[in-house]
Amino acid sequence: MTTSLQTAFDRYFLTSSKESLEEYQSVMNHAMETLKSVVLEQTPFSGAEPQHIKETIQSHFPNVHPDEAMNTELLFQKLNAAVGRHSISVHHPSCAAHLHCPPMLPGLAAEALISGLNVSMDSWDQSGAATMVEQMMMDGLCRLFGLPEGDGVMTSGGTQSNLMGLMLAREHACMKLWNWDVKKHGLPPEQNRLKILCSDAAHFSVQQSAAVLGLGEDAVVPVRTDHAHRMCMKDLIKKLKELRTAGEFPFALFATAGTTDFGAIDPLMEMSRAAKQYGLWFHVDAAYGGGLIMTELHKHKLNGIEEADSITVDFHKMFYQPISCGAFLVKERSSFAYMKRHADYLNPEEDEVPNLVGKSLQTTRRFDALKPFLSFQLIGKKEWSDIICRTLYLAEEAYTMLKSDGAFTPMHKPELSTIVFRYTGEGRFSSETEDFLNSRIRDRLLNDGEAVIARTKVNNRVCLKFTLLNPLVKTDDLSHILQRIKEIGRIESGRING
Query: In the predicted model, is pLDDT for residue 229 greater than 80?
Result: yes
Q: How far does Cα 37 stand from its chain's mean position?
A: 26
Per-residue pLDDT tens over the stretch 409-419: 999 999 999 99
pLDDT at 355: 84
Alpha-carbon distance 477 to 471, whole Å? 12
Per-residue pLDDT tens over the stretch 144-200: 999 999 999 999 999 999 999 999 999 999 999 999 999 899 999 999 999 999 999
Query: In the predicted model, is pLDDT for residue 291 greater than 90?
Result: yes
216 close to 238: Cβ distance less than 8 angstroms: no
Alpha-carbon distance 80 to 308, whole Å? 46
Per-residue pLDDT tens over the stretch 14-71: 998 888 999 999 999 999 999 988 888 779 999 999 999 999 999 999 999 999 999 9
Alpha-carbon distance 35 to 103, whole Å? 13
- pLDDT confidence of 230, banded at 50, 70, 90? very high
**Backbone φ and ψ of 73, nearest 5°:** -65, -45
- pLDDT confidence of 5, banded at 50, 70, 90? low
At residue 250, the 3 state secondary structure works out as strand
Nearest to 294 by CA among 175, 190, 384, 410: 384
Q: Which of 206-215, 258-267, 344-353, 390-399 has the lowest mean pLDDT?
A: 344-353
pLDDT at 338: 87
411 close to 463: Cβ distance less than 8 angstroms: yes
pLDDT at 378: 97
Q: Give percent of the chain above pLDDT 90.
A: 86
pLDDT at 2: 46
Per-residue pLDDT tens over the stretch 419-443: 999 999 977 789 999 999 999 999 9
DSSP per residue, 285-349: EETTGGGGGG-TTTGGGGTTGGG-SEEEEETTSTT--PSS-EEEEESSGGGGGGT----TTT--T
pLDDT at 450: 96
Alpha-carbon distance 360 to 437, whole Å? 46
Sheet containing 326-330, strands listed edge to edge, beginning at the edge strand earlier in sequence: 151-155, 326-330, 310-314, 281-286, 249-256, 194-199, 220-223
DSSP per residue, 481-494: HHHHHHHHHHHHHH
pLDDT at 289: 98
- pLDDT confidence of 465, banded at 50, 70, 90? very high
Pairing between β-strand 194-199 and β-strand 220-223 as defined by DSSP bridges: parallel
Report helix angle 18-39 to 72-82, nearest 10: 20
pTM of the model: 0.95
pLDDT at 14: 92
Long-range Cβ contacts of 217-225 (<8 Å, 24+ apart): 219/192, 219/194, 219/195, 220/195, 220/196, 221/195, 221/196, 221/197, 221/250, 222/198, 223/197, 223/198, 223/199, 224/199, 224/200, 225/199, 225/200, 225/201, 225/264
Alpha-carbon distance 114 to 174, whole Å? 39
Nearest to 220 by CA among 201, 198, 189: 198
Paired with 328 in beta bridges are: 153, 312
At residue 229, the 3 state secondary structure works out as coil
Pairing between β-strand 326-330 and β-strand 310-314 as defined by DSSP bridges: antiparallel
Q: Which ranges constitute the DSSP H helices of 10-71?
A: 18-39, 50-60
486: which residues sit within 8 A by CB, 6+ positions away? 405, 407, 423
For residue 158, CA distances in Å to 90, 94, 149, 170, 440 come to 20, 25, 22, 18, 31
DSSP per residue, 404-415: T-TTEEE-S--S
122 close to 304: Cβ distance less than 8 angstroms: no
Alpha-carbon distance 486 to 492, whole Å? 10
What's the whole-number mean pLDDT along residues 313-335?
Answer: 97
**Prior bond of 199 cis (ω within 30°):** no
Q: Give percent of the chain above pLDDT 70.
A: 96
225 close to 201: Cβ distance less than 8 angstroms: yes
Other beta carbons within 10 angstroms of residue 314's beta carbon come to 29
Query: In the predicted model, is pLDDT for residue 312 greater than 60?
Result: yes
- pLDDT confidence of 354, banded at 50, 70, 90? confident
Query: In the predicted model, is pLDDT for residue 342 greater than 70?
Result: no
pLDDT at 1: 40
Nearest to 171 by CA among 337, 286, 349: 337
- pLDDT confidence of 481, banded at 50, 70, 90? very high
- The whole-chain average pLDDT of the chain stands at 93
- pLDDT confidence of 350, banded at 50, 70, 90? low
Report which DSSP code applies to 121.
T
What's the whole-number mean pLDDT along residues 340-364?
Answer: 72
Per-residue pLDDT tens over the stretch 83-126: 999 999 999 999 999 999 999 999 999 999 999 999 999 888 89
Q: 368 versus 7: which is more confidently predicted? A: 368
Q: 8 versus 461: which is more confidently predicted? A: 461
